[in-house]
Chain A
Amino acid sequence: MHHNPIIIENLTYAYPDGTQALSKINLAIEAGERVALIGANGSGKSTLQLHLNGIILPQSGRIKIGKWWVDADNLRDIRNFVGLVFQNPDNQLFMPTVWDDVAFGPKNCGCQDEELVQRVQQAMMMVDIDPERYGARNTENLSGGEKKRIAIAGVLAMKPQVLVLDEPSAQLDPRSRRQLIELLKSLSLTQLVATHDLDMALELCDRTVVLSQGQIVYDGATEKIMSNPDFLLQHSLESPLSYSRPYCLVKDFLIN
C-alpha cells in the first residue's frame, strides 16, 4: 500500500460560469486513514471528490495520487488506484445485471475469464451480496441498500487503494445505514467520505475536513470539531445528535 496516497496542493477550480467551487485547497491523506469530508450543500465536496479520480482535471494547483500526478496521461492508473462511489446508485449501476455491473471495472482493466470471475465474486462477498442469488438479477429491481452495496462492490472489484464515497448513507434506512457503516469499518482501504451524516462521520472517522464555500476551514480531529456547535453552525452544519443531548449525560442526572 502506498504510504501517502493523496496529496493536494493549492487546488483551485471554477465552474464554466465563473462560480468559484474550490480555492486554494491543500490536503494530504495518509494510507489507511479514514477522513470525513463535511460541509454545506454546494460547498465543493463533490467537486473535490471528482478531482481525485481525474473526472475533473485541476485548473490550477496539482494533485498527486499514489505516485502519479493527476493529468490526462495518467488517468488509467489513477482510476485503478482510486475508487469513486457516487451518491445516486442509479447513476452508477448502469449494466443490465448485477454481475455485469460489478464486472464492468475489472473488464476495463483487461481482467478476463477465471480472474474476472474470482474478482467479481470476491467483491460481492465483501459487501455481503451473494453472487449466486444476485448475479443474474436486474439492477433495477433492488432495494436502496442493496444498490448501494453493489455500487461499492463494483468499485472494490477494481482493487483500488483509496475509496472515495459521496454521501454513502443518504437515503438509506437505519439498518442499511448500519450495514454500510460496518462495511466501511471492515475495509482497510484509505477512505474519504463526504457526508451530511455527522453521526456516521463521528463513528467512522478520526479525522474531519470541513469545507465551506470552496475552502478548507477545519482539518483535524473529528471529536474536537463535533463538540464545537458554534463553529459548525457558522458553516451551515449542526452537532451530531449524539452530542446535542446534554440531558443524556449521567452526570447531569446525578446533580438533579
Chain B
Amino acid sequence: MLLLHLGAFHLDIDSKQATFWHSLAPRTRLLCALLMVFAIALTPNGRWWTWAIYGLGVLGVVFFSRVTKKVLLKRIAVEFAFIGTVLLGTLFRDGGEVLWSWGILRITTEGLTVLGSVTIKALLSLLTLNILTLTTSVPALLNALTALRVPPLLVATLASMYRYIGVLIKEFQAMRKAAASRNLARNNVWQRFVIGNMMGTLFIRTFERGERVYQAMLARGYQGVPVVEKVPSGGRRDVFVLTFTIILALLGQSIYLPY
C-alpha cells in the first residue's frame, strides 16, 4: 500500500503532531491498527451494525489524531481505484433474488450484500492503515515491527527496501532521461522494448548494488544477523488503548451473538 504513494513528497506528513494518538508508542499504534483491520476484515458479510461500531472507532481516531483529511481522502481515492476492479466482480454473484438482469449479467440481492460488505471492509481497513502511515514514520514502523518480535532479518529486508526504492526510482528516471535525450519517442513498440531493457538493466544493477552494500555492512562488523535494540516497554496509556481496542472489537462482534 505504501508503494502507491512513494511519489508523494512525504509519506508521514502528520507524524510530528502532538496528540494523544501520537503520544502512543508506534508499536501500540501498529498493534491497534492491525487488530482493527483483522476485526473489520473477518466480520462475516452483512453485519452492518458491527461495522457501524468499528466505523465510530476509526472516525474517532481520525478526529483525535488530527490527520490532514484532504491527504487522507486523496490517498484512499487512489487506493480505491485499484480495489474498485475487484469490487466490480463481486457485484455479479449468484444467489438470492434477481433484481436486474441483462444477458448473462445478473444483479442479485446476494451480490449487493457482498458488494456493500466488501466496500465497507475495504474502506474502513484503508482508513485505519492510512491513518497509521500518515502519523507514523516508516523507520518508527520498522522499529515497531522489531518490538513486536518480527524476525530481525525480515525487518532488515523491509528497511533496505524502503531505503533503496528511492535510489532505484532515481536511477530509472535517469535512464529514461538519457534515452529521451537521444530521441527515444519514435513509436510505442520501440519505446516499450527500450523500457523493458531498462528494467532488465536495473535488475542487474540491483544485484551489483546488493553485493556492494553487503560489503559495506561487513566492513562495519555485520555478523549476518541485525542487532536488536532493547525497546522501552509501553506505558499505562498504551495498555489502556490496546485494551480499549480489544473491547471495541469484541463489542462489535457481540451484537450478532444471539443470532
Contact = CB atoms under 8 A, between A and B. Distances in A.
Interface of A: 50, 53, 55, 76, 79-80, 83-84, 86, 88, 90-97, 100, 104-105, 107-109, 112-113, 136, 139-140, 154-155, 158
Contact of B221 (A92, A97, A108, A113): A108
Interface in B196-220: 209, 212-213, 215-220
A96 B142 contact: yes
Given A76-B221, A108-B222, A109-B221, A94 B139 contact: no
A79 B209 contact: no
| Interface residues on chain B, size class | 20 to 34
B216 A108 contact: no
Contact of B220 (A91, A112, A154): A154
Interface of B: 137-139, 142, 159-160, 162-164, 166-167, 209, 212-213, 215-223, 227, 229-230
The B contact surface, by secondary structure, is helix
Nearest to A104: B220
Contacts of A107: 227, 229
B162 A79 contact: no
Contacts of B215: 50, 55, 86, 91
A91 B212 contact: yes
A83 B218 CA distance: 11
A140 B220 contact: no
A93 B57 CA distance: 40
B212 A86 contact: yes
A84 B205 CA distance: 22
Contact of A108 (B138, B142, B220, B229): B220
A107 B227 CA distance: 6
Nearest to A110: B227
Q: Most chain-B CB neighbours within 10 Å: which of A94, A95, A105, A139?
A: A94
29 contacts: A50-B215, A76-B223, A79-B221, A84-B219, A86-B215, A88-B212, A90-B167, A90-B209, A91-B212, A94-B163, A94-B213, A96-B138, A96-B139, A96-B142, A96-B162, A104-B217, A104-B220, A105-B220, A107-B227, A108-B220, A108-B221, A108-B227, A109-B221, A136-B137, A139-B163, A140-B167, A155-B220, A158-B220, A158-B221
Nearest to A157: B220
Closest 10 CB pairs of A and B: A108-B221, A105-B220, A84-B219, A107-B227, A91-B212, A96-B139, A92-B216, A140-B166, A79-B221, A53-B219
Contacts of A80: 221
Identify the interface centre among A79, A80, A95, A105: most chain B CB within 10 Å of its CB: A95
Contacts of A55: 215, 218-219
Contacts of A105: 220-221
